[in-house]
Amino acid sequence: MRHVALVLVVAFATYASPSFAQLPVPSQTSQQVRDPTMVVEDRGQKLEFFSTLRASPEVMSGGRVVVHRVKVARADAPFGPKSLGVVYNHTIQAQGFLTGEVTFKPRESGLPSDIESAGYHGLKKIVEPNIYVVVARTPAELKALFAALKARNDLDWVEIPVNYGISANSATAVLDAAKKVPTHTTQSQKTAGK
């Protein structure tokens, strides 16, 4: 019985004492903007679209968790269910993913006729009574579409839905790694010079 009491006292003392194995709080260094031409202001947050990155959702843990794997792509590669856009929110310091959707609400009860006749890709009402969505196909198109809709004075609000899901890798790490890989042209030039 005496040994049990001693074990309990040691266990409680260990539990109550501070742990030296605690991890330090990571520093809050802000990530710099890589391409100022691909930055937009949305709801007071600075979003940077990475035009040459796409993310593929992968189902993990028996279908319970979706992880996004970021990879290099062409700037004109379209968004899709297996090729999401990659965005960095500089305000909250978080990487996110997007489908190319832009949602908006007209001030009046109906959709302005020039929006309806403009032929925006994927235009449809998504929430009654008066919330709509349009879909851009690339990051450059998304930026232009968002700017055009935001400049209108007949819309109450315009937003870009962003999913801040789990990422398997960092967009900036992928961009940095892509810069270090020599291109075919660079290799040919080095070989030709020898």
**CB neighbours of residue 42 within 10 Å:** 18
Give the closest residue to 68 by CA, choosing from 150, 144, 166, 1: 166
pLDDT for position 139: 97
Q: Are strands 39-42 and 155-159 parallel, antiparallel or unpaired?
A: unpaired
pLDDT for position 1: 63
C-alpha dihedral sign at 57, 60, 63, 65? negative
pLDDT for position 72: 95
> Per-residue confidence of the chain (194 residues) as pLDDT tens digits?
665 555 555 555 555 555 444 445 444 567 899 999 999 999 999 999 999 999 999 988 777 788 999 999 999 999 998 999 999 999 999 999 999 999 999 998 889 989 988 888 999 999 998 999 999 999 999 999 999 999 999 999 999 999 998 888 899 899 988 888 665 544 444 444 44
pLDDT for position 16: 53
First to last CA, the chain: 82
pLDDT for position 186: 42
C-alpha 162/C-alpha 64 separation (Å) is 20
3-class secondary-structure state, position 120 = coil
Give the closest residue to 102 by CA, choosing from 131, 74, 128: 131
Reading the block at residue 64, the tokens are 């319970």
Reading the block at residue 185, the tokens are 């042209």
Q: Are strands 65-72 and 166-167 parallel, antiparallel or unpaired?
A: parallel
pLDDT for position 20: 46
